[in-house]
Structure 1
């Protein structure tokens, strides 16, 4: 992640330079204040004025390592005793999203968010081994039976279409709802070289039409701001074209921020996620050699903490350009079955309204 951090600094530096000397708060438009947007890890967090467009880019990276079972760390030997011949040792997930918003009026903003995804996983032999657990299932014959190997998937992910509607708009407190739909534009039929499906979690989309409701509150007083959001992802189909359905996902997050200067604010955020496991199973040949091949090894409850900064250029050619950066880390986790632990994460948002 060090190389990527250096790239972020090259983006942040011009924004900081075009904001100095910072203007006083009395001379800054409210839309130029950094706290008018939530931390970078929060989506669908704000509305726009009638006729206004916002063009944005978001990047999310999550790293995973270490084998866990329930709330504690476990070993490859324990997985082998449960019959797994392969165990994951590390994984990275990267998401690139366009964030396009248009305000029909002051109370309704539309949002379109297409995305691409890439995932890479490293695995190692454990010494155990599942047999042919279900009729028609194949063993993981493409994997070497010694040492480690890596594999990955990449491509277009699901596309989010949403409407954000204002519920309350006071001088210090705001409330809005979000009605979103996730369209299944991401593949759910990615396969290994021997024709078996890849791990469920390495498919690029859900494969189902999903409802994505949310409600977001924000408040501010002088240099201090705060907010909270509750959201969900609810599948509207029992199974996708590959025969399974990702479980429901519920999330809640709350944050506070302090504006150090008119062009920069710093934030702290706490997030909670509950993810159900997978329903159904692949309708074609797939493996049972590793935990990621079985539906019961998905889902759990997770608590993360995040530290971030929002920057807004106040003058020059970059005036109005926003950059949000946020680093996240796991506080506690309870995994269903055997899963990789959640390590550091990085959120970036870059946007401009016109």
Structure 2
């Protein structure tokens, strides 16, 4: 055990004492050149340069929350009997896993403009507990699943200002409604019903996604702050619009060596409730169909690492939720993780 402890200590001390030598003298060529794995839209590329990235994200949700208070499954059903509107008569959600596979392609057009597109493949699984409206099946569980293409993002990153240590980058982006928002299932009733809002693959609308990022580099690391939005334009063909979303992030990445960094990130996330309503999603059945139970505030903490290996950037981040205050009753978010690989050429 002492030998192992000595070996680990030696490796850490060697890494910390390793001189930071930059092959091209550019602070933006190190392991911290990109934001932590859970973020995008923070960097640009040289004219003619391409970048390809694969990113996997997984969000895990378990237990229901009323405002900032976690409740049991039984309490979630009981709450629905007196809530406004009345809900959870057929079932309550108990757990959800939202996975996302993303292909991200970028190309530098000029010194200060980079265009990009992002193709998304979500996979969503939700567990439920049947309520009193299920009759003799009350108290039993069931699972629903949905997957396929999500909405497609296109955009341009414009560098507004740069010097040796700083970049200001404007993100002019939007999404195209390529994700299916009306798939049906015979689970749990045996009759055909549409899947609830959180299990739909897209927004059904064109969304504006403007953002702004500032990054500052030191010899030993970098700091960034980013405001990113997602704003639906009008209502979709099912007569509703998803939440407006605002994300404010600050992060610090510390270089351990030129090719390895560790990061910490704080995220504030706000969403409002849905507008309109899908006429085929009755509120009384389940809380995931209630448009006024979709908003809230989330405070997240990201802990990440990045490694630059022969031009390949490997980026990993684990993001537990520290605090959340939700409108109505909703599944609470426990954690999110993101893993990405990217290569520029």
TM-score, length basis structure 2 = 0.87
Alpha-carbon distance change, 80 to 27 in structure 1, aligned in 2, over 3 angstroms? closer
- Unmatched tracts of structure 1, length 5 or more: 1-18, 130-139, 314-318
What pairs up with 1:51-200 in 2 under 5 angstroms? 51-81=48-78, 82-83=80-81, 84-85=88-89, 86-127=91-132, 129=133, 144-193=137-186, 194-200=191-197
Where 2:148 maps in the other structure, the secondary structure is strand
- Unmatched tracts of structure 2, length 5 or more: 1-14, 82-87
Instruction: Determine if the alignment matches structure 1 residue 351 to structure 2 residue 320.
Output: no
Separation of aligned partners in 2, 1:174 and 1:301:
29
Separation of aligned partners in 1, 2:113 and 2:137:
54
Where 1:114 maps in the other structure, the secondary structure is strand
TM-score, length basis structure 1 = 0.85
Alpha-carbon distance change, 232 to 285 in structure 1, aligned in 2, over 3 angstroms? closer
Q: Aligned residue for 1:12?
A: none
What do residues 191-217 of structure 1 show as CA deviations (whole Å, max 9, x unaligned)? 122222111111000000000000000
Could you tell me whether the CA contact under 8 Å between 2:64 and 2:76 is conserved in 1?
no
CA shift for structure 1 position 56: 0.8
CA shift for structure 1 position 288: 2.9
Alpha-carbon distance change, 274 to 332 in structure 1, aligned in 2, over 3 angstroms? same
Q: Aligned residue for 1:240?
A: 236
CA shift for structure 1 position 293: 1.7
Could you tell me whether the CA contact under 8 Å between 1:190 and 1:197 is conserved in 2?
yes
Instruction: Determine if the alignment matches structure 1 residue 41 to structure 2 residue 41.
Output: no
Alpha-carbon distance change, 253 to 92 in structure 1, aligned in 2, over 3 angstroms? same
User: How many equivalent pairs are there?
Assistant: 316
CA shift for structure 1 position 35: 1.1
What do residues 76-129 of structure 1 show as CA deviations (whole Å, max 9, x unaligned)? 3333333223111111000111110011101100010011101001111344x4
Of 328, 331, 338, the residue aligned with 1:340 is 331
Q: Aligned residue for 1:137?
A: none
Separation of aligned partners in 2, 1:80 and 1:157:
31
Instruction: Determine if the alignment matches structure 1 residue 302 to structure 2 residue 272.
Output: no
What pairs up with 1:1-40 in 2 under 5 angstroms? 24-27=20-23, 30=26, 31-40=28-37
Could you tell me whether the CA contact under 8 Å between 2:151 and 2:175 is conserved in 1?
yes
Q: Aligned residue for 1:221?
A: 218
Q: Aligned residue for 1:320?
A: 311
Across the aligned residues of Structure 1 and Structure 2, the Cα RMSD in angstroms comes to 1.9
Separation of aligned partners in 1, 2:74 and 2:140:
15
